[in-house]
């Protein structure tokens, strides 16, 4: 019997001690912070500056390598660049270029087909040498939002140098899309 009493006392003590747990004092929730604002990164350039950083990566074809201190590059017959566009609304194809006297004397007037993602935007005949600009609105459905788009040109003829056979189109300063 004594063993039964001892067991009963131990069991009772165990039960009583397990019910007397001490809980921590209540505390307020931690201070709340305002949500972090999304970092607004600048939009990637929509026009390629031939002397600018990143021009080499943007060139698709037929534009010569540039010098770091030069703001222009020679093209071949079908120059093209790629640019990433976030939006497609209200954009215009824009190009700044020159037809040098030395090549014009050999080729005469040059006709250029201005291209957007493989589609002909316009065809323009340039009847004299000198600095030129081309700018024309692009139908939004011709462009791909949040993607790379290709701006290019196709020249009907190019100058071929007699000495080294270099094939030269126009001198290109900028090409891409503007608002």
Cβ atoms of 101 and 129 closer than 8 Å: yes
Q: Which of 38, 152, 16 is nearest to 93 (CA)?
A: 152
Name which of 57-66, 75-84, 92-101, 119-128 the model is least confident about: 57-66
Burial class (CB in 10 A: 0-12, 13-18, 19+), 159: buried
Burial 56-91 (b: 16+ CB within 10 A, else e): eebbeebbbebeeeeebbbbbebbbbbbebeebeeb
Mean pLDDT of all residues in 128-150 = 97
pLDDT higher than threshold 60 for residue 20: no
- DSSP structure string for 150-167: EEEEEES--EE-TTT--E
Instruction: Work out the number of other CB atoms within 10 angstroms of the CB of residue 126.
Output: 17
Q: Model confidence at 53, in pLDDT bands (50, 70, 90)?
A: confident
What the block records as the tokens of 25 is 């004092």
| CA 177/CA 58 separation, integer angstroms | 13
pLDDT higher than threshold 70 for residue 32: yes
What the block records as the tokens of 177 is 């899309």
Tell me the pairing of strands 171-178 and 92-99: antiparallel
Mean pLDDT of all residues in 148-173 = 96
| CA 78/CA 61 separation, integer angstroms | 7
- In the chain, the domains with their CATH numbers are 47-178 (2.60.120)
- How much of the chain exceeds pLDDT 70, in percent? 83
């Amino acid at each position: 019997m004594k063993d039964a009493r001892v067991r009963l006392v131990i069991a009772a003590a165990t039960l009583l001690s397990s019910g007397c747990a001490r809980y921590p004092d209540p505390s307020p929730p931690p201070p709340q912070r305002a949500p972090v604002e999304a970092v607004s990164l600048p939009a990637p350039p929509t026009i390629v500056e031939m002397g600018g950083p990143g021009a080499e990566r943007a060139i698709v074809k037929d534009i010569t390598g540039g010098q770091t201190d030069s703001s222009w590059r020679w093209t071949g017959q079908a120059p093209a660049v790629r640019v990433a566009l976030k939006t497609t609304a209200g954009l215009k194809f824009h190009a700044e270029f020159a037809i040098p006297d030395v090549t014009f004397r050999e080729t005469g007037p040059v006709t250029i087909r201005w291209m957007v993602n493989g589609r002909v935007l316009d065809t323009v005949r340039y009847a004299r040498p000198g600095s030129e600009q081309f700018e024309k609105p692009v139908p939004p459905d011709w462009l791909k939002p949040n993607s790379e788009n290709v701006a290019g040109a196709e020249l009907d003829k190019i100058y071929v140098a007699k000495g080294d056979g270099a094939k030269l189109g126009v001198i290109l300063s900028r090409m891409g899309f503007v608002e």
